[in-house]
């Protein structure tokens, strides 16, 4: 079994796709003609967006994320966290934690997207030898 995709429930799928393109340099893989579902090209696992309206129509009870109490994060890996942090802020991301070197050797930074989702920007974790 493999993790195929993650779906974030957002207010506006087109706006979410456009934000992630500007903030993280990703490209849209597809947007359904209804505008209620879209996917980004992120490599092996697809990052998808569904409108909260659509998922509610399918009988689910979606909630907007609580920025003060995140329950998960999305992580993007890069070798230049500082540049990625600046790009995300310029695209409208809300700063949460500026880039810093962690005790385990990784550099991390955190932003919040327009829907309130927590996004980590990080370097690869050094493998133990």
Which CATH number belongs to the domain containing residue 95 in this structure? 3.30.720.110
pLDDT tens digits in sequence order for the chain, 129 residues long: 888 889 999 999 999 999 999 999 999 999 999 999 999 999 888 999 999 999 999 999 988 899 889 988 999 999 999 999 999 999 999 999 999 999 999 999 999 999 999 999 999 987 654
> Are 17 and 53 within one domain?
yes
Range of the domain at 110: 73-122
User: Rounded to whole angstroms, how far apart are CA atoms 47 and 86?
Assistant: 22
DSSP secondary structure, 51-97, as one string: EHHHHHHTT-------TTS-S-EEEEE-S-HHHHHHHHHHTTPEEEE
Q: For the beta carbon of residue 105, count every other beta carbon within 10 angstroms.
A: 10
User: Rounded to whole angstroms, how far apart are CA atoms 122 and 114?
Assistant: 20
| pTM of the predicted protein model | 0.91
**Structure tokens that stand for 60 in this block:** 């689910």
Q: For residue 128, is it within any domain?
A: no
The strand pairing partners of 10, in sequence order, are 51
User: Rounded to whole angstroms, how far apart are CA atoms 69 and 96?
Assistant: 12
Residue 127: its pLDDT value, please? 66
């Amino acid at each position: 079994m493999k993790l195929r995709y993650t779906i974030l429930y957002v207010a506006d799928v087109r706006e979410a796709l456009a934000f992630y393109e500007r903030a993280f340099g990703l490209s849209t893989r597809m947007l359904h003609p209804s505008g209620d579902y879209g996917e980004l090209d992120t490599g092996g696992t697809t990052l998808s967006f569904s409108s909260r309206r659509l998922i509610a129509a399918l009988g689910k009870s979606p909630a907007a994320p609580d920025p003060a109490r995140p329950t998960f994060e999305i992580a993007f890996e890069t070798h230049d966290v500082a540049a990625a942090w600046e790009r995300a802020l310029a695209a409208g991301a809300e700063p949460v934690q500026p880039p810093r070197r962690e005790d385990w050797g990784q550099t991390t930074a955190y932003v919040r997207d327009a829907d309130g989702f927590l996004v980590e920007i990080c370097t690869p974790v050094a493998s133990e030898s």
